[in-house]
């Protein structure tokens, strides 16, 4: 079963510790579309897990997450939140589906539609 790279876990863990240790005045910056971006990251994590148990055997969706991080170039704490959202999406299904089922395939379709809608909304409202 594919797992998130250990260095990504380490980055997320270190950032979480830093976030907890920082005074509120130095909290991570946000952008108007952060909630939607965090949801998109979670959706990508879910799709990554589900597509791989259904035979995809690729890192396409993790690569999409890496691309999102590269484009956003968020500060470390915001980056950690985005990675945590991706991981939450991934983990939300690893205890529910251990093999590909019709329900897993339906979930993939729903999440792909949601991801597309989020991407379009973010781009149309906030894109350059």
Per-residue confidence (pLDDT) for residue 128, from 0 to 100 = 65
pTM higher than 0.85: no
**What does the pLDDT look like over 87-103, one tens digit per residue?**
999 999 988 999 999 99
Q: How would DSSP label each residue in the chain?
A: -----HHHHHHHHHHHHHHHHS-GGGPPP--TTHHHHHHHHHHHHHHHHHHHHTT--S-HHHHHHHHHHHHH---HHHHHHHHHHHHHHHHHHHTT-SS--HHHHHHHHHHHHHHHHHHHHHHHHH--
Per-residue confidence (pLDDT) for residue 49, from 0 to 100 = 96
Of 89, 51, 72, 66, whose CA–CA distance to 7 is shortest?
A: 66
**What does the pLDDT look like over 45-87, one tens digit per residue?**
999 999 999 998 889 999 999 999 999 999 999 999 999 999 9
Of 105, 5, 121, whose CA–CA distance to 47 is shortest?
A: 105
Per-residue confidence (pLDDT) for residue 31, from 0 to 100 = 86
**What does the pLDDT look like over 104-126, one tens digit per residue?**
999 999 999 999 999 999 999 98
């Amino acid at each position: 079963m594919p797992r998130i790279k250990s260095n990504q876990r380490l980055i997320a863990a270190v950032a979480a510790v830093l976030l907890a240790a920082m005074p509120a005045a130095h909290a991570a910056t946000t952008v108007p579309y952060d909630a939607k971006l965090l949801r998109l990251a979670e959706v990508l994590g879910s799709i990554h897990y589900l597509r791989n148990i259904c035979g995809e055997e690729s890192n396409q969706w993790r690569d999409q997450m890496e691309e999102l991080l590269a484009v956003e170039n968020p500060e470390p704490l915001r980056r950690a939140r985005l990675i945590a959202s991706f991981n939450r999406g991934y983990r939300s299904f690893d205890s529910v589906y251990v093999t590909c089922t019709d329900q897993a395939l339906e979930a993939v379709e729903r999440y792909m539609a949601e991801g597309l809608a989020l991407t379009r909304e973010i781009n149309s409202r906030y894109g350059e």
